[in-house]
Amino acid sequence: MIAPSILSASFGNLEKDIQMLNDSEADWIHLDIMDGVFVPNISFGIPVVNAVNKLTDKHLDAHLMIINPENYFEAFAKAGADSISFHIEATNHVHRAVQLLKNLKVKAGIVLNPHSPVSLLENIITEVDFVLIMSVNPGFGGQAFIEESYKKIKALKQLIKSNHSKALIQVDGGVNLQNSTKLYAAGADILVAGNAVFSAPNPVQMIAQIRNTKKA
């Protein structure tokens, strides 16, 4: 699956870009929420999620790069988020946060920063719907892909299999047509692509190409 990130969209003409995604093979629409505290950038919040929800029927995937994310789960769910992921480093109560998401009837995801080991997920991997592996340092779009991410994806895939978990693997950061084959082969299920999609001459075609990449 592919989840284009609207962080790279044109916010001066957001409705046009959402319509483009509606007409594309995009499975999810990825929403990067930044608070300027957990990450060194501020993006957008609940009003934009609500606005996007009114423009599309596609699955809205809210990635919360904020501290104490559980305080905002209900608001994002009400705004239209179908899945919500939060950083394992951003809360002291990971299991409780996952249960809050389950109670809200949204898909629950946990995010690992590049420096965070897969072993942190051992006691929660059977509870989550997906894990988001950051293949760049979170906070800004357009960064170069961290090559060590392939090993991390493979390790996560093994953890999922050994625990009989149904969790999907999502990858975000520096994803493009050049590395999508290796990412799918390593075990990724959902690729988040922002700059690669919205800077392409034909974004709809690029979405289709990344989504339909054959595994190596």
Per-residue pLDDT of the chain (216 residues; tens, 9 = 90+): 999 999 988 888 899 999 999 999 999 999 999 998 888 788 899 999 999 999 999 999 999 999 999 999 999 999 999 999 999 999 999 999 999 999 999 999 999 999 999 999 999 999 999 999 999 987 666 678 899 999 999 999 999 999 999 999 999 999 999 999 999 999 999 999 999 999 999 999 999 999 998 654
Got the DSSP string for 125-157? TTT-SEEEEESS-TT-SSPPP-TTHHHHHHHHH
Report the number of secondary-structure helices (H) and strands (E) in the chain: 8, 8
How many Cβ atoms are within 10 Å of 103's Cβ, its own excluded?
Answer: 12
Q: Which of 17, 23, 32, 57 is catalytic?
A: 32
Distance CA 99, CA 154 (A): 26
Of the candidates 35, 61, 129, 172, the residue annotated as catalytic is 172
Amino acid at 30: H
The pTM for the full model equals 0.94
For the question of residue 32 being annotated catalytic, the response is yes
* pLDDT, position 137: 86
Contact 216, 185 (CB under 8 A): yes
* 46: Cβ contacts below 8 Å, ≥ 6 apart: 72, 75, 76, 79
What is 2-211's CATH superfamily? Aldolase class I (3.20.20.70)
Tokens standing for residue 100:
């809050």
pLDDT value at position 216?
46
The backbone torsions φ and ψ at residue 215, rounded to the nearest 5 degrees and listed phi first, read: -65, 145
Residues sharing a CB contact under 8 Å with residue 119, sequence separation 6 or more, in sequence order: none
pLDDT score at 140: 65
Encode 6-65 in three state secondary structure: HHHCCHHHHHHHHHHHHCCCCCEEEEEEEECCCCCCECCCHHHHHHHHHHCCCEEEEEEE
Structure confidence at residue 37 (pLDDT): 87
